[in-house]
Structure 1
């Protein structure tokens, strides 16, 4: 049954009872019984009549009873139906927007992209009942300085400094017996010819100059340059950066052993970055916030968690990252959605500056 057909099939009384069941679950995380529901309704209705409606909702797949004598709580399909058909999402106040901007921009001077991502993740965790998650594609940083330092006879440390202040190190293999002067010459050559270029551009420039400058650089220096840049811009790099803040929040208010097992599986997924790059693909075609509930979320479906995410883009409108909140299926969606949406918009502005 399509959502529109399902909505049409529900009368006003059924809609209100369904909404009360979901709202109670989102607030308490527990099933709610017919007696409690009857007390919340806008019009008087006996618990027996409420139970009849609950049975109808259960037959539609919108609610279920976790135990024989328990009340009802929404299924994943019921939560999706509620979010798409009933959830009222308001905007943020000026004060809330300013608070998010202040948290993300905290600190002196220009921040690196990594710092901005970390602040965004921390902000999302602080404003929600879940963990803040940020996934960013590996940036094509522009080189400011590169240096090779010998650490063993056949190994050297490559120190790369990007324009945004990011510093990364890699260990590369070098020909045994390579003189220290060759390492220095390689560093000087790169700093003179490829400063301000991305790694991909640097490799292309090196290839172009290889023939015309062959006399200006000996074979050993050429080897170390090629090896170093291959290590930096080759496929061995991780395709994405994952930042998670506020994991401890996922451990609060656990209701049962099943909840603890769900969180354990989620932590394992986060630690191993299981298919995390798929988050970028999940939001590639969509605009704004996307919500994945339970098994709808192919990344963390085994953990029974919900994921509320939105993409942020560079000046070319390419999706370069995703941020959001992961937590239990009873997330405060009305609160989390506008926070995620505005934080993603803010990140887009900061990335483009």
Structure 2
């Protein structure tokens, strides 16, 4: 019977003290260096007196349970994916962050200026998580339905204009839009004035409904070109259409994932990982993974179908707005030998801070 046929409690109960210690040393060596640990070196590390031959017998039992394996003949042992999961669930001690570590995270995420954008803080959170792990820092933010405060159109070329849209918390979106043929500067101003007078102070969903109700008024007060600009302005704020994803992804620390890459197979796995991250459905999947559990969730290798081909691990936690809605997630993606005990509390506390910023309306 392997560990796959037993509950974690059953597996733990089946191990005596020396088996647990041998297993723990093998996993910790792997997490530290990525190297297999042999019986001779292991016998020197153990707190109890155990010969290399006895260590090999213990290793054989652990292999039978599916917790460790030999990467090649006469090599030391490495933990299997099941072994890593067993270690995380049954052995790993996740401590709280020190006051100094908390202060350091808060200092890095604290807005540098009152008008600092949320995007800047999301990017900083991603960079921060990359710095404390051997992987890439990941931040996903679900775009909220913002309240519109001000709209302005600035002509750039005869057929192009810059649409400037300001939300109630001073978040700004600048987009280039195509102008209808023959549009004049006064029509740009007229369209912006109409939006600011009639539609400011509402969310995008409310704006669309209001525009529908004001169609008759739009037709009488604005000519066809200005009416077109009004609708283009709303489309720009919405991100270009309903078919586009409502989430954004920020990843920092790609280079960390290249450390220790030994050959073509490793590079191929990294390419698969980056391809996964670039797919829009991947963002939604990660948010769903974060939402289905409470607090930090750990996915090791193929446990998460999203990264099963690349064999990467994902540590992720959601963060919520003032209405307890999940509006994003923070985490770390990296090799299976991430320092889980250190990264988990970092991800957890970063998610708490992002929730605080989100509730503050930043």
TM-score, normalisation: structure 2 = 0.90
d(CA) in 2 for partners of 1:343, 1:188:
41
What is the total number of aligned residue pairs between the two structures?
Answer: 353
Report the alpha carbon displacement of residue 63 of structure 1 after superposing the two structures with TM. Answer: 0.9
- Offset, 1:175: 3.8
Distance between the aligned counterparts of 1:345 and 1:145, measured in 2?
Answer: 31
Match of 1:138 in 2: 143
Q: Once structures 1 and 2 are overlaid, which stretch shifts more, 86-95 or 265-274?
A: 265-274
Q: 2:196 aligns with which of 178, 191, 212?
A: 191
Task: Verify the 8 A CA contact 1:61 1:77 in the aligned structure 2.
Answer: yes
Q: Quick check: 2:218–2:227 contact (8 Å CA) kept in 1?
A: no
Q: How does 1:197-236 map to 2 (within 5 A)?
A: 197-212=202-217, 214-233=219-238, 234-236=241-243
User: Are residues 35 and 273 of structure 1, via their aligned partners in 2, closer, same or farther at CA, if it must alter by over 3 Å?
Assistant: farther
| Unaligned runs of at least 5 residues, structure 1 | none
Query: Are positions 1:280 and 2:269 aligned together?
Result: no
State how far apart, in whole Å, the 1-side matches of 2:29 and 2:264 are: 22
Question: Take 1:350 and 1:331, find their aligned partners in 2: how far apart are those partners?
Answer: 28
Map 1:68-79; keep pairs closer than 5 Å: 68-79=73-84
Residue among 50, 53, 58 paired with 1:53:
58
1:84 partner SS? helix
User: Partner of 1:161 in structure 2?
Assistant: 166
Instruction: Output the aligned Cα RMSD.
Output: 2.1
TM-score (norm 1): 0.92
Query: How far apart, in 2, do the equivalents of 1:203 and 1:162 lie?
Result: 16
**Compared CA separation, residues 30 and 258, structure 1 to 2 (3 A):** farther
Asked if the contact 2:163–2:233 (Cα under 8 Å) also holds between the matched residues in 1, the reply is yes
| Distance in 2, Cα, partners of 1:202 & 1:2 | 54
Matched residue, 1:301: 308
Matches within 5 A, 1:13-162: 13-105=18-110, 107-151=112-156, 155-162=160-167
Tell me, in whole angstroms, the C-alpha distance in 2 between the residues paired with 1:341 and 1:68. 40
State whether residues 138 and 238 of structure 1, in contact with CA within 8 Å, keep that contact through their aligned partners in structure 2: no
Note the C-alpha offset of 1:115.
1.3
